[in-house]
A and B are shown apart, each in its own frame.
Chain A
Amino acid sequence: MLFPVNKMKFRTRRLIAVCIIVFMQLGTAYSQKITLSENNVALELIFNKIRLQSGYDFIYNQNLLNQAKPVTVHLINKSLKEVLDVCFLNQPFTYIFQQKTIVVQEFKNTSIANRSVAFIVTARGRIVDTGEKPLSAANIKVHGKNISAVSATDGRFSLRRLDVNAELEISYIGYITKNVKVAADLGDIILEPVVSKLDLVHIIAYGTTSKRFSVGSIATVEAEEIERQPVSNVLSALQGRVPGLMISPSTGVPGGDYVVQLRGSNSIIGSNDPLYVIDGIPYTSVTLSKIGGYGSAAGNSNPLNDINPYDIESVTILKDASSTSIYGARGANGVILITMKKAISGETKADFNVYSGIGQNVRKKKMMHIADYLDMRRETYRNSISTIYNALDAQELVLWDQTLDRDWQEELLGMNAVYKDVQTSVSGGKDLNTFLLGGGYHKETTVFGKADANQKGSVRFNSAHQSSDHKFRAMLGVSYLNSDLTLPGGDITVFAATLPPNQPELIKNASFNTYRSIRKNLIANATLSYMVVPGLELKTNFGFNGITSDEIQVNPFSTTDPVSGLLNSYVLSANNSKYVWNVEPQLNFHKVYGSGILNILIGGTVQSDSTKGVTNYITGFANNMQLTNLASASAVTIIDMNNAKTRFSSVFSRIGYSWNEKYILDLSARRDGSSRFGPGKQFGTFGAMGIAWIFSKERFVDHTLPFIKFGKLRASYGTVGNVPASDYQYLSNWKFSGYKYDGISGLQLQNLFNEDFAWEITKKLEFGLELELFNGSTSFNLDYYRNQSTNQLVNYPLPTMTGFPSVFANLNAVVQNSGLEFSIQHTHIQTKRFKWTSSLNFSAPRNKLLKFPNLESSTYRLDFRIGQPIYIKNLYDFVDIDPQTGLSRYATTSGLVNEPENTVENRTVLFDNRPKYFGGIGNNMHYNGFELDVFFLYAKQKAIDFQGVVGGTSSINLPIRYLDRWRKPGDISSNQLLTYDWTTTLAGWQLPESDRDLVDASYIKLKNVSFSYSFSSNLLEAVHLKRCRAYFQGQNLLTITRFTGLDPETGNNVLSPLRVLTFGLQFTL
Chain B
Amino acid sequence: MPSLSLRVVSAAVAVLAGCSGAPWNNPYPAAEDGANILYTSFSERPKHLDPVQSYSENEYVLIANIYQPPLQYHYFKRPYELVPFAATEVPRAQLFDALRRRLPDSADAKDVAYSEYVIRIRPGILYQPHPAFATDEQGRTLYHDLKRGDLSGIHVIGDFKATGTRELVAADYVHQLKRLAHPRLHSPIMQLMGDYIVGLRELAAELAQAEKALPKDGFLDLTRFELAGAQAVDRYTYRVRVRGKYPQFVYWLAMPFFAPIPPESDRFYAQPGMAERNISLDWFPVGTGPYMLTVNNPNRQMVLERNPNYAGEVYPSEGEPGDAEAGLLRDAGKPLPFIDKVVFALEKEQIPYWNKFLQGYYDASGIASDTFDQAVQFSGQGDVTLSEGMQARGIRLQTSVATTVFYLGFNMLDPVLGGYSERARKLRHAISIAVDQEEMISIFRNGRGIAAQGPIPPGIFGYREGKDGINPYVYDWVDGAPRRKSVERAKQLLAEAGYPHGRDAKTGEPLLLNLDTTGTGPDAKARFDWYGKQFEKIGVQLAVRSTDWNRFQEKLRKGNVQMYFLGWNADYPDPENFLFLLHGAQSKVKTSGENASNYANPEFDRLFERMKNMYNGPERQEIIDRMVAIARRDAPWVWSLFPKDYALHHEWVRNRKPNQMANNGLKYQRIDPALRTERRREWNQPVVWPAFALVAVVGLSLVPAVRTYRRRERQTAKA
Answer whether A and B are interacting partners. Answer: no
Give the interface of A toward B (CB within 8 A).
none
Give the interface of B toward A (CB within 8 A).
none
